[in-house]
Amino acid sequence: MRIGLSINYAGGFKEVAAEVADLERAGLDIVFVPEAYSFDAVSALGYLAASTQRVQLASGILQLYTRTPTLTAMTAAGLDYVSDGRFTLGLGASGPQVIEGFHGVPYDAPIARTREIIEICRQVWRRERVTHSGQHYTIPLPADQGTGLGKALKLINEPVRQRIPILVAALGPKNVELAAEVAEGWQPIFYLPEKAPDVWGKALAAGRAKRDPELGDLDVYAGPTLAIGENVESLRELVKPHLALYIGGMGAKGKNFYHSLATNYGYGAQADRIQELYLAGDKEGAAAVVPDELVRDINLIGTPGFVKERLAAFREAGVTTLNVAPIAATSADRVKLIETLRELLD
């Protein structure tokens, strides 16, 4: 399995970039740059491309609604160019809170949009004249919707690769099926190896049945929190507020993807209570309800022996990349964690 890590550049990006170079030497395989409603991910990815040599770079994620499909393709091609072919395009729908609340764009039809965007991106990277007539995107714009001067164009530059790897973040069965059909990689959230086949198995099988063999095997990215040591189990408590935020606060009742996931894992009663408390403003109370077993099983927090057992479970479930979130106070501690994880995997 590969080791990945999502950076947090809230405290200063240049310092984080220097740390990524150290992590690269420690055995990190891929680094993800998130884009929520902070600084954009593309600027940071370009900086990292210039300050690293080997590590793969990925957007984690670029949102479907915030760029046109062709701009997404141009951006990916540009990042692949400045990184000498080390970029992976991570795409995802995000959620209505960000898309409508921050960008002012309707959150609609994520599955259909994902398919169309991927089709258009690959057309751009092949340097074909871009023509697309879909439910959500039409290129060129028809004369009766514009000036009538638009014509099909192709990318001026020759991309480093005609097929940049695409990673789709997806939870729902239809979106997971689509990821397994058309993308090189799939990124779920809060991945529980023993329950994953029950939750996503049918959707993955349906998508793989329609998958183009040229895409190769589907890469599966899990995102556990990481802490390795003899007395680190208490750190699991630090994960609970994050889980409570997603299960309880990311959407209204009946419209929360993460609440549905926890329910599908068998924690429906606890998910209901977490949501009730969180939406009532009791965030601490909501965190206290997060099941210990859920925190234990979706993360890598424990002794080296425990972590090695969980690594085997992730591998058995089909995970190919661990996009870890290290719990560490210093850069040196994070580098040490990555070194230790690499030793346990090798």
Instruction: Please indicate, yes or no, whether residues 158 and 276 belong to a single structural domain of this protein.
Output: no
Q: How many domains does the chain have?
A: 2
Instruction: Please indicate, yes or no, whether residues 331 and 182 belong to a single structural domain of this protein.
Output: yes
pLDDT at 161: 98
Rounded Cα distance between 296 and 316, Å, is 17
Instruction: Please indicate, yes or no, whether residues 135 and 268 belong to a single structural domain of this protein.
Output: no
Instruction: Please indicate, yes or no, whether residues 132 and 196 belong to a single structural domain of this protein.
Output: yes
Q: Could you tell me the residue range of the domain that residue 280 belongs to? A: 233-299
Rounded Cα distance between 247 and 279, Å, is 10
pLDDT at 96: 86
Instruction: Please indicate, yes or no, whether residues 260 and 143 belong to a single structural domain of this protein.
Output: no
Instruction: Please indicate, yes or no, whether residues 132 and 263 belong to a single structural domain of this protein.
Output: no
Q: What is the value of pTM for the model shown?
A: 0.94
Instruction: Please indicate, yes or no, whether residues 53 and 133 belong to a single structural domain of this protein.
Output: yes
Instruction: Please indicate, yes or no, whether residues 293 and 308 belong to a single structural domain of this protein.
Output: no
Mean pLDDT for all residues in the chain: 96
Instruction: Please indicate, yes or no, whether residues 132 and 261 belong to a single structural domain of this protein.
Output: no
Q: What is the CATH number of the domain that holds 185?
A: 3.20.20.30
**Residue 159 tokens, joined:** 């991309």
Instruction: Please indicate, yes or no, whether residues 223 and 316 belong to a single structural domain of this protein.
Output: yes
Domain-ending residue, one of 299, 318, 336: 299
Q: Low-confidence residues of the chain, pLDDT below 50?
A: none
Centre a 10 Å sphere on the Cβ of residue 57 and count the other Cβ atoms it contains.
24
SS3 for 93-129, per residue?
Answer: CCCHHHHCCCCCCCCCCHHHHHHHHHHHHHHHHCCCC
Instruction: Please indicate, yes or no, whether residues 265 and 131 belong to a single structural domain of this protein.
Output: no
Instruction: Please indicate, yes or no, whether residues 185 and 160 belong to a single structural domain of this protein.
Output: yes
